[in-house]
Structure 1
Amino acid sequence: MKTFSSIQRSQQLKDMSQEVYDVIVIGGGITGAGIALDAVTRGMKVAVVEMQDFAGGTSSRSTKLVHGGLRYLKQFEVKMVAEVGKERAIVYENGAHVTTPEWMLLPIHKGGSFGKYSTSVGLRVYDYLAGVKRKERRKMLNADETIKREPLVKKEGLRGAGYYVEYRTDDARLTIEVIKKAVEFGADFINYVKAERFTYDKKKVSGIEVVDRLTGEAHTLLGRKVVNAAGPWVDDVRSRDYSKNTKNLRLTKGVHLVIDQSVFPLKQAIYFDTQDKRMIFAIPRNGKAYVGTTDTFYDNTQDPANPKMTLADRDYILEAIHYMFPDVKVTADDVESSWAGVRPLIYEEGKDPSEISRKDEVWEHESGLITIAGGKLTGYRKMAEHVVDLVSKRLKTETKQSFAESRTINLPISGADFGGSRHFKSFVDKKAAEATQFGLTEEEGRKLASFYGTNVDQLFKLAHAAKGIELEAPMTPVVHAEVVYAVQEEMTVKPVDFFIRRTGRLFFDIEWVQRHKEPVMKLMKNLLQWDDETYQTYQAELEKEIEDAVVPIDLPVHN
């Protein structure tokens, strides 16, 4: 069995340099993870390198929806709506512990972007294209029914609403669970390792030279095919190859704000048009409401690894809240946290950020390098299938190897071995009851099972073992178990990995992070044997992430 532990990470990289892979993937976001899972389950030998943490870029900074792209009907992207709409149900069925159906309200106001008739027709077409289940098909509500579902919505000019299902997810957790499933089948994943340059054999890419960003050690990884799935860094990776094509990415930035429901008591997820006719979401989640996204061009001279909320971003979203929810008196002081992410879109001249297509494209270079660019979280599995089909075809031609067809359509990701979405609730109920055998409360068991799915048994055992250990306050056995599991089973290297991408708490419970940051870092220091200098470096990094989530920078927004 392959390991996915940060304790063995350095040795793993050395071992990887002794292998020859069928395919090496550059990029450990959802696209790279999906490609690895598709390839390894067909029988390919696979490696993935990620220069940050897994899901460190766009894949932890989305709107956290596996959605079917209703807005793309307005742009007549019918094929994309049909494909990603159908993929929503597959993503949900293969991982119900990280994805859940969410009824979405689409308010219709006089003078707004949507009329009752066009909304009704649009949602009906959407249901048809996306193959929506009967019980999740759209409903049309009158004004009274709309207000009943969300009393905060603007009453003036309200004519009713469309009511349809989207799927809410934890994007980073989805990525991690896909990775763990690929590791289970034998793929090698490693984070904080940067692909610096390509190696060639007769002008064909034969591998990559990499540098471990934690130790500075350099290694060469050999692969028969190399796939560039670097998201916002696709162009940077391609620039290292002699055969870059003429297409380019255009990065756009999206920002979300998190507000406590005591201030913004949102009952219902809403997709609404703003004062300037853009569409944004307001979604309740575990006692918070998060609102976004903005859609502005991102300055390509800035590092896409660290996009930040600006004052203009924050004020725009607050104005949008006041516009659609006039009784809600949120202010800048009520913003508990935020996140900003960049989307790598394929450049289309003359188009506004919200108009650029979200479709993906696969480019094959003269050198044999394969690049995938664009695309949406929802379509990650199908995108991976297309890429690996091409890899398989080329390997058959070049090396006479034959591989199976894609098998991910009905493959549960890690933690989803409970027999499909219809069994998830009963599974969680069962595990909640079992938790008491490990000295935990039913509520603790329920939360862990809902979050970790069928991997929860490992958490139960770790929490039970922690009851015999003297823990740093306020660390409970459950928190201790989460940290140990994250390090040993999810290659968590730094505190920011744990607080942002393994748990999401820096975005959705920043006060919890403030309480637990010191004991978590002390435990990680012991597990990973950091020296004092490393501890202080990681501590400063975490404090900077907390500050960035709360304090906007004063830069103009680029429309």
Structure 2
Amino acid sequence: MTNERRPNERLGELGPVQRAAAWDRLGKNHFDVVVIGAGVVGAGIALDAATRGLEVALVEARDLASGTSSRSSKMFHGGLRYLEQLEFGLVREALHERELSLTTLAPHLVKPLRFLYPLTHRGWERPYVASGLVLYDTMGGAKSVPGQHHVTRSGALRLAPGLRRDALVGGVTYYDTVVDDARHTMTVVRTAAQYGAVIRTSTQVVGFLREADRVVGVKVRDSEDGRTTEVRGHVVINATGVWTDEIQALSRQRGRFHVRASKGVHIVVPRDRIASDTALILRTPTSVLFVIPWGTSHWIVGTTDTDWNLDLAHPAATKADIDYLLDRVNEVLVTPLTHDDIHGVYAGLRPLLAGENDDTSKLSREHAVARIAPGLVAIAGGKYTTYRVMAYDAVDTAARDIPQRVPPTITEKVPLLGADGYFALLNQTPHLAEEYGIHPYRVEHLLNRYGALITDVLDLSAGKPELLQPITEAPSYLRAEAVYAATAEGALHLDDILARRTRISIEYSHRGVACAEEVARLVAPVLGWEEAEIRREIDTYTARVDAEIRSQTQPDDISADALRVAAPEPRPEILEPVRLES
């Protein structure tokens, strides 16, 4: 093993220096595996392959987790509702993965969360729900968290006094987990980089390289400046989620499956608008509705599940979507939510394996992996929680095209960056607070975002104590966090920082606009922005937020999508799929 491939904490950094070096390596090296797509599945594939000792490149047209993997329900869950669909294997697998991440792989990012399931029917419903939760607990749902617990109506209302008394007859509590999906995906990517994977965002695949009937690499284009280069490898893995069919068409190979996009919309409201000490899971006529605590100051309410056939990069939430969520949650609340209560809205697309049934809520959450052609593998479907399983299935399939012996997966034993030492540092919270002169609650907040990498963030304040001050209009975050996003976490644009490295875009009613200039000027020295670039970043971000807010007043997908698509792109050289080279 060369020194370049030896695990090293500096290799996990994704900053301007690493980005420049990555472009050179993409054009010069021959890789065992080239991964397209930096959502959680592509990130997991890069980590799995790198830890098997393979040479890996990961390219992404936009940002880490810029699609589905930053717009989920923020749960790392077993999929309780899939028991009703008799998908026992999926639930058992997901619960195993949940337990693994909660205890070993990412305890700094994946956190236990208690849910209340309000019962609305007397007699049959309690034993029905209890039997499902017995299965859930037995399959692994209660391994390191409490199992189900039954409460009366009065007991349920003590847990969630914000619920209407006539909205339930009793309740059952159980545990699942919550995660910041974008930060988790980014951390998987950085862990892959730590083990030698070459990572490059804003790097769009615009063509495939072939020798006879074999795919031998891809042609990529820099989404920032338009440069192109060729990346060669033994096997290319298409892990692009809802873009699977588009990339498949670009390869000129017939796919083994198709992917349909299902839109899920969530709203974010202040914590004081719903009085509850527990998360809620509510039945709806077609699916379920989650009310999930987000940080210490918000709730996330979602989700919808509707077919989407428009722009894949910018799914738009409509007024109808938001009204649906408000109507459903208000059916059980003492004090109804209104549009004025909403601080943030986001829409994401689930990549579902297409089937005979037009009801997207019933399409399979299982994943599929196939060798499309010699040197080309595709993977799609699945759910966020089982990303690691999807990853090793993809690499196992790709091994057929790699000349040397490929060892079995070991990611079950590879903690993500920041996991090692996390629990010890939690116990040292008062000492860290005293050392850096910040409040202990701030230390705990940082530990649950960076884990053991917390000192890398705080040490940026050496000689710059102002970086330990909160961002003026987003005081949940330190200025150092914005700088660290650019120096180590691969952020290239304001949108990357405000929407994914932090969650300012959904946690504050100004949606990041009020702090855009402050953040832009903090990262400008790192990213080499002159005054013109600073203004462009601010103007672009502001225009995108404006388009998003206006789209949320539209009555239907087509009109909402038109507003989102018209907004300027942060990445000036990004190409739409119809313009890709073939």
| Counterpart for residue 406 of structure 2 | 403
> Which SS does the other structure have where 1:365 is aligned?
strand
Q: Deviation of residue 470 (structure 1)? A: 12
Counterparts of 1:256-267 in structure 2 under 5 Å? 256-267=266-277
> Does structure 1 residue 415 correspond to structure 2 residue 422?
no
How many equivalent residue pairs?
A: 544
> What's the TM-score, normalizing by structure 2?
0.89
Which residue of 117, 134, 142 maps to 1:106?
Answer: 117
Separation of aligned partners in 2, 1:96 and 1:201: 45
Separation of aligned partners in 2, 1:473 and 1:404: 46
| Counterpart for residue 345 of structure 1 | 352
| Counterpart for residue 135 of structure 2 | 125
Separation of aligned partners in 2, 1:316 and 1:161: 24
Q: Deviation of residue 485 (structure 1)? A: 1.3
Separation of aligned partners in 2, 1:70 and 1:62: 16
| Counterpart for residue 299 of structure 2 | 289
Separation of aligned partners in 2, 1:498 and 1:295: 28
Distance 1:78 1:187, change over 3 A: same
| Counterpart for residue 547 of structure 1 | 546
Which residue of 88, 92, 110 maps to 2:102?
Answer: 92
| Counterpart for residue 307 of structure 1 | 315
> Which SS does the other structure have where 1:402 is aligned?
coil
Separation of aligned partners in 2, 1:98 and 1:84: 17
Q: In structure 1, what residue type is equivalent to 2:425? A: F
Q: Deviation of residue 512 (structure 1)? A: 7.8
Residue by residue over 1:434-469, the C-alpha shift from the partner in whole angstroms, topping out at 9 and shown as x without a partner, is 232233333332322222110011112112431278
Separation of aligned partners in 2, 1:470 and 1:504: 18
> Does structure 1 residue 61 correspond to structure 2 residue 90?
no
Separation of aligned partners in 2, 1:333 and 1:186: 48
Distance 1:141 1:277, change over 3 A: farther
Separation of aligned partners in 1, 2:348 and 2:218: 27
| Counterpart for residue 573 of structure 2 | none
Deviation larger for 480-489 or 160-169: 480-489
Does the aligned pair in 1 maintain the 2:268–2:345 contact within 8 Å? Answer: yes
Separation of aligned partners in 1, 2:543 and 2:57: 31
Separation of aligned partners in 1, 2:477 and 2:443: 9
| Counterpart for residue 576 of structure 2 | none
> Does structure 1 residue 360 correspond to structure 2 residue 367?
yes
Q: Deviation of residue 486 (structure 1)? A: 1.1
> Does structure 1 residue 239 correspond to structure 2 residue 246?
no
Distance 1:474 1:139, change over 3 A: closer
Q: Deviation of residue 294 (structure 1)? A: 0.5
Q: In structure 2, what residue type is equivalent to 1:108? A: L
Q: In structure 1, what residue type is equivalent to 2:420? A: D
Separation of aligned partners in 1, 2:100 and 2:230: 37
| Counterpart for residue 31 of structure 1 | 41
Does the aligned pair in 2 maintain the 1:266–1:284 contact within 8 Å? Answer: no
Which residue of 166, 169, 191 maps to 1:156?
Answer: 166
Deviation larger for 145-154 or 53-62: 145-154
Counterparts of 1:136-535 in structure 2 under 5 Å? 136-156=146-166, 158-245=168-255, 247-274=257-284, 276-285=285-294, 286-299=296-309, 302-325=310-333, 327-395=334-402, 399=403, 401-418=404-421, 424=423, 426-467=424-465, 474=472, 479-511=478-510, 513-535=512-534
Distance 1:439 1:312, change over 3 A: same
Separation of aligned partners in 2, 1:548 and 1:152: 33
Separation of aligned partners in 2, 1:157 and 1:87: 34
Separation of aligned partners in 2, 1:508 and 1:75: 34
Distance 1:215 1:121, change over 3 A: same
Distance 1:358 1:472, change over 3 A: closer
Q: Deviation of residue 513 (structure 1)? A: 2.9
Separation of aligned partners in 1, 2:260 and 2:342: 29
Q: Deviation of residue 8 (structure 1)? A: 4.2
Does the aligned pair in 1 maintain the 2:470–2:476 contact within 8 Å? Answer: no
> What's the TM-score, normalizing by structure 1?
0.92
Deviation larger for 58-67 or 495-504: 495-504
Separation of aligned partners in 2, 1:246 and 1:180: 31
| Counterpart for residue 571 of structure 2 | none
Separation of aligned partners in 2, 1:227 and 1:371: 6
> Which SS does the other structure have where 1:147 is aligned?
helix
Q: In structure 2, what residue type is equivalent to 1:372? A: I
Does the aligned pair in 2 maintain the 1:467–1:477 contact within 8 Å? Answer: no
Q: Deviation of residue 250 (structure 1)? A: 1.0
Structure 2, unpaired ranges of 5+: 5-10, 559-582
Q: Deviation of residue 51 (structure 1)? A: 0.5
Q: Deviation of residue 353 (structure 1)? A: 1.5
Separation of aligned partners in 2, 1:85 and 1:190: 32
What is the aligned-residue RMSD (CA, Å)?
Answer: 2.4
Separation of aligned partners in 1, 2:453 and 2:119: 43
Q: In structure 1, what residue type is equivalent to 2:106? A: G
Q: Deviation of residue 151 (structure 1)? A: 1.3
Q: Deviation of residue 44 (structure 1)? A: 0.3
Q: Deviation of residue 478 (structure 1)? A: 7.2
Deviation larger for 240-249 or 184-193: 240-249
Residue by residue over 1:195-217, the C-alpha shift from the partner in whole angstroms, topping out at 9 and shown as x without a partner, is 01100122201000000010100
Q: Deviation of residue 222 (structure 1)? A: 0.5
Distance 1:25 1:389, change over 3 A: same
Q: In structure 2, what residue type is equivalent to 1:384? A: A
Separation of aligned partners in 1, 2:468 and 2:434: 21
Using the aligned pairs only, state the percent identity: 30
Separation of aligned partners in 2, 1:472 and 1:334: 24
> Which SS does the other structure have where 1:156 is aligned?
helix
> Which SS does the other structure have where 1:239 is aligned?
helix
> Which SS does the other structure have where 1:72 is aligned?
helix
Residue by residue over 1:245-281, the C-alpha shift from the partner in whole angstroms, topping out at 9 and shown as x without a partner, is 252111100000011123333432001013x343110
Distance 1:470 1:296, change over 3 A: closer
Q: In structure 1, what residue type is equivalent to 2:289? A: I
Does the aligned pair in 1 maintain the 2:265–2:303 contact within 8 Å? Answer: yes
Q: In structure 2, what residue type is equivalent to 1:449? A: L
Does the aligned pair in 2 maintain the 1:127–1:138 contact within 8 Å? Answer: yes
Structure 1, unpaired ranges of 5+: none
> Which SS does the other structure have where 1:262 is aligned?
helix
Separation of aligned partners in 1, 2:169 and 2:53: 55
Separation of aligned partners in 2, 1:122 and 1:365: 38
Q: In structure 2, what residue type is equivalent to 1:318? A: L
